[in-house]
Amino acid sequence: MKKHIVLVEDDEVIRENYTEILQDEGFSVTAFSNRQDAQDYFNRQLPDIAILDISLAEDREGGFQLCTDLRRHSATLPIIFLTSHGSEHDKISGMRLGADDYLTKDISVEYLVVRIQALLRRMQKLAEYNPLTEAPELTHSKQRLYLDKDKLLAYWDGQAVELTLTQYWIVEALMHPAGQAKTFEQLMKAANIYVEPNTISAHIKTIRSRFRAIYPDFDCIKNERGTGYRWIER
């Protein structure tokens, strides 16, 4: 069965172009030009992935509102911002609202498809995962963090940590090897994103909060001033 994408883009030419391209790549696509129509649709059913512009005609932050609403429906639905808004403020806002990726419209179609496929593969692994029968055995492990590279899941003391795909890849990069400082550029490469350092910092802030939801004293990610971050085992 084809994976279903909902595309929300107010520019008719861009909307039709991306719809045709994604359909040619084998996806089923439903496209909307405004927030209200998309919101009505999401209230009835959810796609496999949502691709949102930020400004939707006169609704300058309509995409942000849609992202917030979608996260109320689902904590795991893959959400990508595909927009001409390239400011750090917008990128950080998008990630804090729960988006899995933030791409600008100057990227290649090939890169967009790679990001979509990566997110969908992770969702497939999550759908197949049964925590009652497949939870990792960590009883004898000295490490508090366990990364399941097959399912792209992270665990702290045996409890699953709620991370987006991008955030998982950042944690994985920091852990290999643990204790080695990683630059912003290295973390971008590992996460398959090309953004400003402040966006990586926003991801790190969210990652810390997700671990602290399980372990309030979590303090394993250290800042390397002007360089990047380091994972320190505790």
pLDDT-derived band of residue 139, with 50, 70 and 90 as boundaries?
very low
Of residues 71 and 29, which shows the higher confidence score?
A: 29
* Domain 131-231, CATH among 1.10.150.20, 3.40.50.720, 1.10.10.10, 1.10.260.40: 1.10.10.10
Lowest-confidence pick of 11-15, 40-44, 63-67, 121-125: 121-125
Beta 153-156 vs 159-161: how paired, if at all?
antiparallel
Of residues 70 and 114, which shows the higher confidence score?
A: 70
Of residues 114 and 231, which shows the higher confidence score?
A: 231
- Give the largest Cα separation in the chain, rounded: 57
- 10 Å CB burial of residue 208 (0-12, 13-18, 19+) is middle
Rounded to two decimals, the pTM is 0.69
- 10 Å CB burial of residue 70 (0-12, 13-18, 19+) is buried
Query: Domain locations in the chain?
Result: 4-125, 131-231
- Would you state the pLDDT for residue 108? 85
CATH homologous superfamily of 4-125 equals Response regulator (3.40.50.2300)
